Amino acid sequence: MEEAWTLLLVIGESGSWFAPVLFILFHVFRQFVFIPPSVVCIAGGIVFGTVPGILYSLIGLTGASILFYFFVKKLPETMDRLSRIKKHLVGRFRELTVLQVALLRLIPVIHYQLLSFCLYERKKDFREFMIASFITNIPFVIFFTVFGKSVGEFDALAGSLLMIGLLLLAYLFREKITLIKWREFFDTSQ
């Protein structure tokens, strides 16, 4: 993690025209080296400033969403694993709404790709998935780019209250109706 942080600072301080391009590419491929996107957004705010950091992070996360959409189809074992985790955490017959995903992305301990998978299950069409992904990335990027420094300085009580508040909002914005097909409800294979 320390090496990635140093690399981001070197890229940003180089001051050349390719620094934003390298930052965006780093955002796209950070998911393969298991770096949380919140860390990269915070770094973008520090290195490039607030508005360019938000813009570059949105572009980078959009590229990461495109990559996720096509890779999840090519890797069925990853899709099965994410599906099992989602069923365990969210429930077998529940789907998260776009607003819930946007709120849950603000909680750093919830896995970013799992939330992308929840969007993927809800929006199978590429265009719909990309629109939903872009919409859910906007509050995430703004929050961690602008408030990233101060979030790291919260004490345990303030951080816990913030997470509880976000989880409560996500619960309140849930879908109130769940449709379960007859065969799924009486499925004996699970």
Segment 23-75, tens digit of pLDDT: 899 889 888 888 889 888 888 888 888 899 999 999 999 999 999 999 888 88
Q: By the 8 A CB rule, do 78 and 42 touch?
A: no
Mean of pLDDT values over 111-126: 88
**How many domains does the chain fold into?**
1
Residue 190 pLDDT exceeds 60: no
118 located within any domain: yes
Residue 19 pLDDT exceeds 90: no
Q: Taking Cα atoms as reference points, which of 121, 135, 137, 109 lies closest to residue 69?
A: 121
If one counts every other C-beta atom within 10 angstroms of the C-beta of residue 121, the result is 17
Query: Rounded to an integer, what distance in angstroms lies between the CA atom of residue 114 and that of residue 84?
Result: 10
190 located within any domain: no
151 located within any domain: yes
Provide the pLDDT for residue 132: 94
What distances in angstroms separate CA 8 from CA 2, 13, 15, 36, one per listed residue? 10, 9, 12, 14
111: containing domain: 2-185
161 located within any domain: yes
Query: Rounded to an integer, what distance in angstroms lies between the CA atom of residue 71 and that of residue 49?
Result: 32
139 located within any domain: yes
89 located within any domain: yes
Mean of pLDDT values over 153-158: 73
150 located within any domain: yes
Query: Rounded to an integer, what distance in angstroms lies between the CA atom of residue 141 and that of residue 4?
Result: 19
Is this structure's pTM higher than 0.85?
A: no
Residue 7 pLDDT exceeds 70: no
126-150 burial code (b ≥16 CB/10 A, e <16): eeebbebbeebbeebbbebbbebee
User: For 132-148, what is each residue's pLDDT tens digit?
Assistant: 999 999 999 998 888 76
Q: Taking Cα atoms as reference points, which of 37, 57, 38, 61 lies closest to residue 49?
A: 57
Q: By the 8 A CB rule, do 23 and 56 touch?
A: yes
**pLDDT band, very low/low/confident/very high, at 15 (cuts 50, 70, 90):** low
